[in-house]
Amino acid sequence: MKWIQSAPSNIAIIKYMGKRDHERNIPINKSISWTLNHLRSFVELELTNGDTRWEPLNSSYPFELSEKGWEKFSRHILEIKKIFNIKENFIIRSANNFPSDCGIASSASSFAALTKVCVEAFSEISKGNKMSIHEQAMLSAKGSGSSCRSFHDGLVAWTENGIEVKKINDFNFYHQVVITSGAKKEVSSSEAHKRVNSSLLINGRIERAEKRYVDLISSLESKNWQSVFNISWAEFWDMHALFETSCPPFGYMSSQSLEILDLIKNYWKKNSFGPVTTMDAGPNVHLLWPIEYKNHAIEFKNFNTQLKFISEDLF
Ligand code: PMV
């Protein structure tokens, strides 16, 4: 018997960085992200009489799960098996619909897809009750915190009350990511969550993130894109400053990231509008264009032929 599920990635505008509880992935502050429906992970489960193991799923993009990745995956599967009292073994196959060597974080989409497929398969096998989407998201957060925001479309908040979709009328983003490097991360996000506690800038971090969270919602509601840009810009720099001021310091920003950020700043200066810009724990630059500026986004990509883009249109 086989089961397959897929889930999207997401990009945070207010970042989840730093945990109150590292075992259970309890964040120190609220976060909010935009769901990237076009960038997806697929996970398949098949019952086997052999040992539980991982294989790549057939896909146009080759994908290899690292040893650490498999450790995290199998720990999460065990956790869900316990809930449903499952004894069977499975072949787990997974893939992404985007190149995995381009440095776009796939942990959110892959943990969300893994949680969904395990819940579907295990509740069928155990003839147990299905879990609600909210319960699944909270379960997924135990494997990868940011994955809980991948259970809904649009703007998704992760707060002390769990997951919440922020409904803001007549509003949409067109997403592009400028790829600067496919290099593997030297410091994993789990390690980053721990190490930021050693930065002096961690003082006041919760207050800064919480203020930006409130300001972001009201700026989105009033479609004040300049203000949304300012908040998003300050927020990713705040996270990257935490990284660089940790002991020992670490970072993901490359000289090419800085060049792209400069290009975006100049674009805003020249046009008085532009993309909401953010960076994850990586060197790539994410651009969220208010949908009314989609033509400008395409123009921007066509103009900057020296840059490598992954745009929503490609999917
Ligand atoms: O989900 P994790 O534990 O891999 O944390 C990653 C958190 C960031 O991607 C760096 C920020 C965020 O809120 O998505």
Ligand 1 atom nearest residue 14's Cα = 13
Instruction: Output the six-digit token pair for 48.
Output: 């086997």
Whether 30 has a pLDDT exceeding 90, the answer reads yes
The per-residue pLDDT for 20 is 97
The residue ranking higher by pLDDT, 128 or 176, is 176
Whether 62 has a pLDDT exceeding 80, the answer reads no
Counting DSSP H helices and E strands in the chain, the numbers are 8, 12
Whether 77 has a pLDDT exceeding 70, the answer reads yes
pLDDT tens-digit profile of 269-314?
999 999 999 999 999 999 999 999 999 999 999 999 999 999 998 7
Neighbours of 223 (CB within 10 A): 14
pLDDT tens-digit profile of 32-48?
999 999 999 999 999 99
Instruction: Output the six-digit token pair for 254.
Output: 């490359």
Ligand 1 atom nearest residue 189's Cα = 4
The per-residue pLDDT for 60 is 75
pTM score: 0.96
104 within ligand 1 shell (Cβ under 6 A):
no
Tell me the percentage of the chain whose pLDDT exceeds 70. Answer: 98
Q: How far apart are CA 257 and CA 247, in angstroms?
A: 23
Segment 133-144 mean pLDDT? 98
9 within ligand 1 shell (Cβ under 6 A):
no
Whether 257 has a pLDDT exceeding 90, the answer reads yes
The residue ranking higher by pLDDT, 65 or 157, is 157
Query: What is the Å distance from ligand 1's center to 145 Cα?
Result: 7
pLDDT-derived band of residue 103, with 50, 70 and 90 as boundaries? low
The preferred substitution site among 146, 236, 243 for testing ligand 1, maximizing ligand atoms within 8 Å of CB, is 146
Contact at 8 Å (CB) between 23 and 139?
no
189 within ligand 1 shell (Cβ under 6 A):
yes
If you average pLDDT over every residue of the chain, what do you get? 95
The per-residue pLDDT for 182 is 64
Q: How far apart are CA 284 and CA 223, in angstroms?
A: 25
107 within ligand 1 shell (Cβ under 6 A):
yes
pLDDT-derived band of residue 100, with 50, 70 and 90 as boundaries? confident
The per-residue pLDDT for 40 is 95
pLDDT-derived band of residue 59, with 50, 70 and 90 as boundaries? confident
**Exposure of 59 by Cβ count < 10 A (0-12 exposed, 13-18 middle, 19+ buried)?**
middle
Q: What does each C-alpha distance from 208 to 14, 204, 231 come to in angstroms?
A: 10, 6, 10
- Paired with 95 in beta bridges are 42
34 within ligand 1 shell (Cβ under 6 A):
no
Whether 218 has a pLDDT exceeding 70, the answer reads yes
Contact at 8 Å (CB) between 178 and 44?
no
Contacts 24+ apart (CB under 8 A), 137-141: 137/112, 137/162, 137/163, 138/162, 138/163, 139/79, 139/80, 139/83, 139/115, 140/111, 140/112, 140/114, 140/115, 141/25
- What secondary structure letter does DSSP report for 71? H
17 within ligand 1 shell (Cβ under 6 A):
yes
Instruction: Output the six-digit token pair for 160.
Output: 């002390």
89-96 and 53-56 beta bridge pairing: parallel
User: Who's near 201: CB < 8 A, 6+ residues apart?
Assistant: 238, 241, 242, 245
Whether 101 has a pLDDT exceeding 70, the answer reads no
Ligand 1 atom nearest residue 105's Cα = 9
31 within ligand 1 shell (Cβ under 6 A):
yes
28 within ligand 1 shell (Cβ under 6 A):
no
Residue with tokens 């497929």: 117
Segment 155-160 mean pLDDT? 98
3-state secondary structure of 80: helix
